[in-house]
Chains A and B, each alone.
Chain A
């Protein structure tokens, strides 16, 4: 590992921590959102690439660190090309799944073979097109590393029945963050697998409590009893079945709203709190309780407004998440140096998102 930290500490004086800020506002974003939506529908989806750029630009440019905002530079045309390729792959993949033949296995194998490469490209595209103060980010993870993280670890996770999942998560984040650069300054990742296991254990515990409560409440018992009664010729009011299912679905949503935010807050705090940019420390203090409140209220308001609250919900969430992050500069943030320009395609990012891989940065 070569140490290319081009930071010239001009003085040894301590530097005040810098808070990330998000200055977006729901009403403003609503205008962008609705125009994006309308143009995307009118152009049968073609505009969605431009919509994506505008959305990301809105969020990046309203995110500030040390009184300077971030920027997104991705080209809509590249994103569109990426989307077309992703769509073609998606259709091909789904079609071959329907066929139930040797072709299906072939398609799954082909997908497994290209996916790590696509995901690496998507990291590259996203980072290369992000900048702060005119200096771009970069992702320099190797292709071999990507296959190791996604294929080898993925395989290990499967054969160990997900016991390795927290380890795999740690390896993935290490691959992403250790290979990220800001200009010519490198990020590094320091969270250990044990810390991931602790948080996953908590998640498992919460799920176990949920299953226990569901069992105790007798909902599943009632469902089995009803299906048994039907099997033996008895008649069961279908509305009773519907009611029980509704309770179960509601409980599931409630769990999603309660447990997932806790997990998300803890794991994000761990990941960013253990990421450094050269010797500049980062700290992330997301409160799980506040995140639960935001998720719950966003959910209710989006449902009640048939989706029109979405822009406000997105802005609220972004503000909360970004305001939880602080940077502790070890030296002057003025002196980051940019790297040589390179060009990176968008195929990876778009293909990856079409196959539903939500990789949060």
Chain B
């Protein structure tokens, strides 16, 4: 005997009933109710927390039971077995296990899964998308913080010629466009757009005052273009953004934005190292020393007020470590 409330599905009237088992049937008995329903036709809702549980009969009628443990006894007597997910979410050990698996999966996806997927994506994405994105980014920058370069035209041509004459380690010469722009706000800087276009700012050229060193910085930027780091960053930040929105979106969209930036920072360090390695290899291939890039970095560091990180270096973390690696490379593999 199990107390329940019966609803006929046609009105909100509650009827107190007793549930019991007779052979293969569920018996529902109470005030002006006397039903026998074969078990096969009863649909049992899953047990969710301490919410009353429902046994669904036909035509929208159902019995609502509050004594969940007594109902479990009745259900096991008739051989009903709860669904897998239902059991999982109530089983404290499984919940703990799910917690651990979630942390591991999230960590692995962040550390290996996402970079791998982004690299694959960046490699297979149609070049047209990179072109469109770059054209838009350039337009935004040109309308906003860029002004035309004030570097003498002859100097620009000389740098362009030297840049396009570089022989790449994988063969051929760079097919990236090299653009000159001026932007006092951004300071001495150079960067690669998703389609491989490289932009160098006046302040970088004047601050270094040495075209060989400028070329070394451009070699580093070619490394970003070669590794398609721009597209990879874009894909990674979209994916982390989407996940965070899904993860905390229930509570507060405000929370989703901040951690995405933090997660992004680690990836960029890896890309810098890869670009350094490519730049160093390219310099060696052209009979130049990777030390040139280290010298350029040193000069840019010296330009900054003590203790601060701005301009080119703000987007390129752990400069000391990078200079050390590059000098080591220069020492062990003397230029041809």
Query: Closest residue to A299 on the B side, CB-wise?
Result: B252
Tell me whether B48 and A61 are in contact (CB under 8 A): yes
> A338–B250 contact, CB under 8 A?
no
A219 within 8 A of B: no
Report the Cα distance A50→B305, complex, angstroms: 56
Smallest beta-carbon distance A69→chain B, Å = 6
Q: Does B40 contact A (CB under 8 A)?
A: no
Of the candidate stretches A33-41, A142-150, A160-168, A171-179, the one touching chain B is: A33-41
Nearest residue, chain A, Cβ from B133: A98
In the complex, the chain A residue whose C-beta lies closest to that of B313 is A238
- The answer to whether A227 touches B185, judged by C-beta atoms less than 8 angstroms apart, is yes
The answer to whether the Cβ of B161 comes within 8 Å of any Cβ in the partner chain is no
Question: Once bound together, how far apart are the Cα atoms of A68 and B8, in whole Å?
Answer: 14
B15 to chain A, nearest CB (A): 10
Q: Which residues of A contact B90 (CB under 8 A)?
A: 31
Q: What 1/0 flags go to B58-84 for Cβ under 8 Å of A? A: 001110100000000000000000000
- Residue in A35, A132, A133 whose CB lies within 8 Å of B89: A35
A256 contacts the other chain (Cβ, under 8 Å)?
Answer: yes
Interface readout for B92-122 with A: 1 if CB under 8 Å, 0 if not?
A: 1011001101100110010000000000000
A298 with B251, Cβ < 8 A, contacts A62-B49, A237-B308 known: yes
A residues in contact with B13, CB < 8 Å: 133, 334-335
Q: Interface residue tally of chain B, by bracket?
A: 35 or more
A238 near B310 with CB under 8 A, answer yes
Instruction: For chain A, residues 306 to 331, give those with C-beta under 8 angstroms from any C-beta of chain B.
Output: 307-308, 310, 313-314, 317
State whether the Cβ of A231 lies closer than 8 Å to any Cβ in chain B.
yes
* Smallest beta-carbon distance B56→chain A, Å: 10
- Interface centre among B52, B94, B246, by most chain A C-beta atoms within 10 angstroms, is B52
B89–A32 CB distance below 8 A: yes
Q: Are the CB atoms of A336 and B132 closer together than 8 Å?
A: no
Measured in the bound complex, the distance between the Cα atoms of B213 and A168 in whole Å is 61
Which interface residue of A35, A57, A335 has the most chain B CB atoms within 10 A? A35
- Would you call A302 and B255 a contact (CB within 8 A)? yes
* Minimum C-beta distance from A251 to chain B (A): 13
State whether the Cβ of B229 lies closer than 8 Å to any Cβ in chain A.
no
Question: Is B224 among interface residues, defined by CB-CB distance under 8 A?
Answer: no
Decide yes or no whether B42 CB sits under 8 A from chain A.
Answer: no
Complex contact B102–A28 (CB within 8 A): no
Instruction: Say yes or no: A57 contacts B48, CB within 8 Å.
Output: yes
Q: Mark A39-77, 1 if CB is under 8 A from B, else 0.
A: 111100000101000100110011000001101000000
Question: A218 interface residue, CB < 8 Å from B?
Answer: no
Determine the chain B residues whose CB is within 8 A of the CB of A134 once the complex forms: 7-10, 12, 60-62
Across the two chains, which residue of chain B brings its CB closest to A333?
B12
- Say yes or no: is B88 at the interface (Cβ < 8 Å to chain A): yes
CA distance A302 to B253 in the complex (A): 12
Taken residue by residue from 262 to 300, chain B's Cβ proximity to chain A (1 for < 8 Å, 0 otherwise) reads as: 000000000000000000000000000000000000000
Contact A61 B60 (CB under 8 A): no
Contact residues of A between 335 and 361, Cβ < 8 Å to B: 335-338, 341
Q: CB-nearest residue of chain B relative to A134?
A: B7
Which of B52, B60, B95, B105 touches A338 (beta carbons < 8 Å)? B60
Of all chain A residues, the one with the shortest Cβ separation from B51 is A61
Closest chain B CB from A307 CB (angstroms) = 6
- Most A C-beta atoms less than 10 A away, residue of B11, B99, B133: B11
Asked if A334 and B14 sit within 8 Å, CB to CB, the answer is: yes
Cα distance A25–B49 in the bound complex, in angstroms:
8
Inside 8 A of A39's CB, which chain B residues have their CB?
Answer: 85
B-contacting residues of A (Cβ < 8 Å)? 23-25, 28-32, 34-42, 48, 50, 54, 57-58, 61-62, 68-69, 71, 98-100, 132-135, 183, 227, 230-231, 233, 235-239, 249, 253, 256, 298-299, 302-303, 307-308, 310, 313-314, 317, 333-338, 341
- 15 A/B residue pairs, CB under 8 Å, sorted by A: A25-B49, A31-B90, A34-B95, A36-B89, A37-B102, A40-B246, A61-B49, A68-B64, A133-B12, A135-B9, A135-B10, A230-B184, A238-B309, A249-B258, A338-B11
